[in-house]
Amino acid sequence: MRLFTEKGSTQITVSELAQEANVARGTLYRNVGSVDELFDRVVAELSADMHLRVSAAFAVIDDPAARLATGMRLWVRYAFENPLMGRFAVRFGLTAESLRTMMTGPPKLDLDLGIETGRYNLGDCDVTGVVSLVLGATISAMWIVLEGHQTWREAGSATAELVLRSLGIEPADARAISRIELPRLPAG
């Protein structure tokens, strides 16, 4: 993660990866394939792990709007608590693999539930656009925190509130939901 974050996914050599992992280059060639394949696997595994951990943290919350806001805020808090992962997510969070994980994972299920129950009013908007809005807004909030412009509480709550309002949640309700106490994130 550190190498990908520092240099970018396409600018890393197998030699650099081998040195970082303290293994021979041949070992990497046999077990990893290309740098691009490794990068895709890292993104997929990190995304899937965090989505599962975030979902487990709020399993008792029934309201899809509260689940969505809580999930976004947990990601922002986790970026603050784990700056390396946060910087990796900010740099690479809008990759095809990240979007695929969002489209098949817990955030999409919560969005679907909110639509089915009438909690969200999307009008003519497609759920794919909403997924990209949630992902982009969360990544932007993480960047704001990592750059020191706001605290994780401020950025996470404000972003969650704005996303909920864009989904048709009444302003006062969106504000209250985006400020409920966060649950503890299970260890990964």
Alpha-carbon separation of residue 65 from 19, 75, 155, 186 (angstroms): 45, 16, 17, 21
Radius of gyration over every alpha carbon of the chain, rounded to an integer in angstroms: 18
Are 185 and 72 spatial neighbours (Cβ–Cβ below 8 Å)?
no
- All structural domains of the chain: 43-177 (1.10.357.10)
pLDDT in tens, 34-47: 777 777 777 777 77
Are 150 and 167 spatial neighbours (Cβ–Cβ below 8 Å)?
no
| pLDDT under 70: residue ranges of the chain | 9-10, 96-104, 188
Percentage helix, strand, coil for the chain under 3-state DSSP, each rounded to 5: 70, 0, 30
CA distance 124 to 118: 14
Alpha-carbon separation of residue 113 from 8, 69, 127 (angstroms): 36, 14, 11
- pLDDT at residue 39, rounded to an integer: 77
User: Residue 184: CB partners within 8 Å, gap ≥ 6?
Assistant: 57
- Sign of the alpha-carbon torsion through 54, 60, 65, 69: negative
- pLDDT at residue 103, rounded to an integer: 64
Are 74 and 155 spatial neighbours (Cβ–Cβ below 8 Å)?
no
pLDDT in tens, 91-103: 887 776 666 666 6
The region, left, alpha or beta by phi > 0 then psi within -120 to 50, assigned to residue 170 is beta
- pLDDT at residue 70, rounded to an integer: 93
Q: Under DSSP, is residue 26 helix (H, G, I), strand (E, B) or coil?
A: helix
Least Cα distance to 146 among 53, 63, 60, 84 occurs for 84
